[in-house]
Amino acid sequence: MRAKVTIAGAGMTGGTMAQRLAETGYIDVVLQDIIEGMPQGKALDLAESGPHVGFNATITGSNDWANTKGSDVVVITSGVPRKPGMTREELLNINAGIVRDVATAAIKESPDAVFIIFANPMDAMCHVTLEATGLPRSRVIGQGGMLDSARYRTFLAWESGASVQDVHAIVLGGHTEATMVPIVSTSTIGGVPLTAAMPKDKIDACVVRTKNGGAEIVALLKTGSAFYAPAAATCEMVEAVLLDKKRVLPCAVNAEGQFGINDVFVGLPLKLGAGGIEQVYEPPLADDEVKAIRGAADATKELIGLIK
């Protein structure tokens, strides 16, 4: 029996997630969106790729939450981008309203699902989802650190000339340029400490480029933002849950005392399995990194305070 995943929001990222998940062969996907015809059209197009790719998964496009019933995982990508003249608070509350409605509708149909939050501002939207669903902290997970860590690893691989597969580095903290914390102290390349494998100026350049990774792509595209890497990062989390992989990944979790942080979502290393978050780790980090992670938590608390 195939697993079932609902993706709320059938934009470029949601559609790419649907493609990657369907092509695993063991996941049926529901693309849910309020725009009539759009999720149905994308689902039909993806289904028609099956004969070439060789998958038999069912891909459903829907505007009706009833079709999402019994999902094992719900991924929320819904929201609007910031428009010219729009304040941060206005964007925050528009997206909070959207995510609140989506989470409330989704939990009614899939009360046992694990929720993965992609919508921005991601850290704050995790709180909206947690409150709207009433789920335990183990079943609401933020995606941000996964994407930021992938960018960090990519840049470190390019600068060091090593395979990206041998670069082990994570980004913790928040999911904004100001709050993400690319970790240097515990990062390695093939088991060699990062500080021994690369000169400091190159490491610093990778840290800065990681923090600006999303903006760099937006500037190049002119319209729109990244979707390939965000989709791949999210799908890795989905598979960790569905296959009970026990993966240790950098994701946002509602902290319970880690680094002295409580009751706020912040990026930390955590173990993902069938029930969602199974364990949260507090690795030994440099003092400035711990301070920055705490600062990220404080920034998210400030955002939450602006939600109406």
Distances (CA, A) of 140 to 117, 132, 305: 7, 11, 20
Tell me the angle at which helices 144-160 and 200-211 cross, rounded to the nearest 10 degrees. 150
* Alpha helices for the chain (secondary structure H): 12-22, 38-47, 50-53, 88-109, 122-133, 144-160, 194-197, 200-211, 213-221, 228-242, 287-304
Identify whether the C-beta of residue 13 lies closer than 8 Å to the C-beta of residue 77. Answer: yes
Separation between Cα atoms, residue 143 and residue 237, nearest integer Å: 8
- Catalytic status, residue 175: yes
| Angle subtended at Cα 30 by Cα 79 and Cα 144, rounded to the nearest 5 degrees | 45
Q: Which residues pair with residue 262 across a beta bridge?
A: 256
Tokens of 29: 């996907």
| Angle subtended at Cα 299 by Cα 288 and Cα 172, rounded to the nearest 5 degrees | 50
Q: Which of 52, 127, 168, 175 is an active site residue? A: 175
List, by residue number, the catalytic residues: 175
